[in-house]
Amino acid sequence: MKTIKAEHAAIVSDLRVAQGDEVVAGTILLVTELMKMQHDIRATESGIVRILHVSPGDELRGGEPLVTFEPAEISGSLQQGTEDLRPDFSEFEARMSLLDDSSRPEAVARRHQTGGRTARENIDDLFDPGSFTEYGALAVAAQRSKRALTELQSRTQGDGIICGTGLVRGRPVAAMAVDYMVLAGTQGYNHHRKMDRLIALAARHNLPIVLFAEGGGGRPNDYDVATLMTAGLNVASFRQFAAHKGPKIGIVSGLCFAGNAALFGVCNVRIATQNSWTGMGGPAMIEGGGLGNVGPREIGPSETQVANGVIDVLTKDEARAVAEAKTLLALPVATDASPVEDAAESLRSVVPVDRTRAYDMRDAIAGLVDAGSFLELRRGFGSGMFTRFARIKGRAVGILANTPLHLGGAIDAPAGDKGARFLQLCDAWAIPVVTLCDTPGFMVGPEIEQTGQVAHISRLFLAGAHFCQPLITVILRKAYGLGAMAMAGGGFDRPHFCCAWPSGEVGAMGLEGAVKLGHRDRLAAITDPDEREAEYQRLVAQLYEQGKALNAASLLEFDAVIDPAQTREEIIRALSTAGACVPAVRYVDAW
């Protein structure tokens, strides 16, 4: 015979067996209650109940016998009682099923018919499988005072935004995906609360944030908070997102206006699909301002936003946009280098022998970086400057290069803006920069000055002066005046390593201009045109001899003259001795 005793003080609440009952191990014999909590007393082994020592209502102090039973082999199994049914789990499963895209088949079909993807499809594509943790999924629009809760649960899932963290190619990342299928992607009260929570979390752990920004801006009809605010201009989301120091990557497909566009605008890199329309004001705002009635697809089409520099990367569709975002997020991770031996050898012939002939800087970049590794930013804007992320022997670098096919490589205002922002971006992301210099200097002329050239070009000097990551400058051909200094971060003494190809030439200004200005009287005194031209060419050649790379390096104008085919090796050797730094201000200008 075995007796089960009370372990602590309690009150007997219920008896579940009677004397003589056969029970299997695990059967509930009686229930006690302590501090409003019920405790099951179970049989520790199978047997027959012989004595019940207590009755309902008995007060126990601990140690009293409760049940005596005789151990025996009992046929049968433990029977599940009604207490084993879990209505809480049934409610949970029903509620969670509303969050899945399968609960909205018609809305999903409309997305797919237009070539778009749902917010959850984008999230699933972005993150490594099984790594995503969602925050605030059960939120609904703040409209319970006007609409039934069941309706809000089935039609305003997550209050129109999916927020969470996970891994992207092994890197911890936060993401916010506006759900256009919920109230046209408008930003509601709980929508902003979810954003604020995720931004704070990302700031605490220094996580990059990916924002899928499609949507129509602020929502005016969250009735539950209508009496608590008038304009809601103290919402913190915009300030906190702009202030976030980690990488911010924005993706837009479809319509993106007002508040959604403002968040997209402060992203470090802005990716958009060809079928995107982005504007600070949507049709309703334009009409409300008395500016007429326009359709949403008349506002900020992708071709316009590419040409004016708003879009950094234009893609065919959302799948490609997500792929480009993954490429950006993977930059800090070194990879195996792709072989480019033949391309490296071809660097010797990139710059023509004739110093007056133009060439394509893309050929130089292709021979320099790992095969298939580059991603160009703002391709349709600032054509005088290339800004690219790439890898050299597996290491991520930023490539800032002049383009001799545009204005002979001269730097105009858009090129200055483009280069300055790229230096800020690489500094904030702790990525070293390689500048490929072939410029006659800044673009000049009365019409050019009407573009605000002085201020725009100065941005390139400011960005270079504050840039604190490793900087390598390679002079391919021309390196003249202030433009060349700006391409080297402010001067040839600034880079960690400043070198030139044998085709390089340097000077305080273009050789031809220097001769015309410095020898004006001398040339004017020669009356014979042929003699004057011959003397002019002799003086130009003389300056070239003085300024060509081998002579300039011998006078310590810069560090070295290198074989173009060895450029990759020279860059990696130099970078291996340069340490990255944390910039004092990790702030990337929106422009």
pLDDT digits (tens, 9 = 90+) for 422-438: 999 999 999 999 999 99
**pLDDT exceeds 90 at position 583:** no
Which of 434, 163, 133, 176 shows the shortest CA–CA distance to 325?
Answer: 176
pLDDT tens-digit readout, 241-284: 999 998 999 999 999 999 999 999 999 999 999 999 999 988 88
pLDDT tens-digit readout, 393-403: 999 999 999 99
Q: Burial of 307 by CB count in 10 Å (0-12 exposed, 13-18 middle, 19+ buried)? A: exposed
Query: What pLDDT, on a 0 to 100 scale, did the predictor assign at position 37?
Result: 92
**pLDDT exceeds 90 at position 235:** no
* 60 bridge partner residues: 10
pLDDT higher at 85 or 351: 351
Query: What pLDDT, on a 0 to 100 scale, did the predictor assign at position 407?
Result: 92
Cα–Cα–Cα angle for 422, 308, 271, rounded to 5 degrees: 60
Which of 328, 329, 321 shows the shortest CA–CA distance to 166?
Answer: 329
pLDDT higher at 563 or 334: 563
Q: Report the alpha-carbon distance of residue 293 to residue 296 in Å, rounded.
A: 10
User: Mean pLDDT, to the nearest integer, of 348-352?
Assistant: 95
Which of 314, 311, 237, 325 shows the shortest CA–CA distance to 278?
Answer: 311
For residue 465, what pLDDT band results from cuts at 50, 70 and 90?
very high
Q: Report the alpha-carbon distance of residue 273 to residue 264 in Å, rounded.
A: 13
Rounded (10°) angle between helices 529-547 and 511-518: 120
Q: Which CATH class is domain 96-329?
A: alpha beta
Query: Of 77-86, 175-184, 380-389, 480-489, which gets the smallest average pLDDT?
Result: 77-86
Q: Burial of 339 by CB count in 10 Å (0-12 exposed, 13-18 middle, 19+ buried)? A: exposed
User: Mean pLDDT, to the nearest integer, of 46-57?
Assistant: 92
Query: What pLDDT, on a 0 to 100 scale, did the predictor assign at position 544?
Result: 77
pLDDT higher at 290 or 191: 191
Domain boundaries defined on the chain: 2-84, 96-329, 341-504+548-575, 509-547
Running DSSP on this structure, what letter comes out for residue 280?
S
Residue 209's Cβ-side half-sphere holds a number of Cα atoms within 13 Å equal to: 32
Query: Of 102-106, 149-153, 507-511, which gets the smallest average pLDDT?
Result: 507-511
Mean of pLDDT over the chain:
91
Running DSSP on this structure, what letter comes out for residue 92?
H
User: Mean pLDDT, to the nearest integer, of 450-474?
Assistant: 94
Q: Report the alpha-carbon distance of residue 268 to residue 247 in Å, rounded.
A: 7
Query: What pLDDT, on a 0 to 100 scale, did the predictor assign at position 338?
Result: 64
pLDDT tens-digit readout, 284-343: 888 788 888 889 899 999 999 999 999 999 999 999 999 999 999 999 888 876 666 567
**pLDDT exceeds 70 at position 585:** no
Query: What pLDDT, on a 0 to 100 scale, did the predictor assign at position 84?
Result: 62
Q: Tokens 């390679």 label which residue? A: 474
Query: What pLDDT, on a 0 to 100 scale, did the predictor assign at position 339?
Result: 60
Q: Are 319 and 240 in contact (CB under 8 A)?
A: no
For residue 488, what pLDDT band results from cuts at 50, 70 and 90?
very high
Query: What pLDDT, on a 0 to 100 scale, did the predictor assign at position 513?
Result: 67
**pLDDT exceeds 70 at position 517:** no
**pLDDT exceeds 90 at position 349:** yes
Q: Quick one: how far is CA 301 from the chain centroid?
A: 22
Q: Find all residues with CB under 8 Å of 204, minimum gap 6, and list them.
A: none
**pLDDT exceeds 90 at position 226:** no
**pLDDT exceeds 60 at position 473:** yes
Q: Report the alpha-carbon distance of residue 18 to residue 21 in Å, rounded.
A: 6
If DSSP states are collapsed to H, E and C, what string results for 233-258?
CCCCHHHHHHHCCCCEEEEEEEEEEH
- Say yes or no: do domains 2-84 and 341-504+548-575 share a fold: no
Which of 383, 378, 351, 352 shows the shortest CA–CA distance to 367?
Answer: 351
Query: What pLDDT, on a 0 to 100 scale, did the predictor assign at position 232?
Result: 74
**pLDDT exceeds 70 at position 168:** yes
Q: Tokens 């349709």 label which residue? A: 380
* Structure-block tokens of residue 179: 């759900």
Query: What pLDDT, on a 0 to 100 scale, did the predictor assign at position 222?
Result: 86
pLDDT higher at 485 or 582: 485
Cα–Cα–Cα angle for 213, 217, 218, rounded to 5 degrees: 135
User: Mean pLDDT, to the nearest integer, of 104-110?
Assistant: 94
User: CATH: 3.40.50.720, 1.10.730.10, 2.40.50.100, 3.40.50.150. Which one for 2-84?
Assistant: 2.40.50.100
Domain 341-504+548-575, classified CATH 3.10.129.10, yes or no: no
**pLDDT exceeds 70 at position 375:** yes
Query: What pLDDT, on a 0 to 100 scale, did the predictor assign at position 528?
Result: 78
Query: What pLDDT, on a 0 to 100 scale, did the predictor assign at position 80?
Result: 53
Percent of the chain at pLDDT exceeding 70: 96
User: Mean pLDDT, to the nearest integer, of 413-418?
Assistant: 96
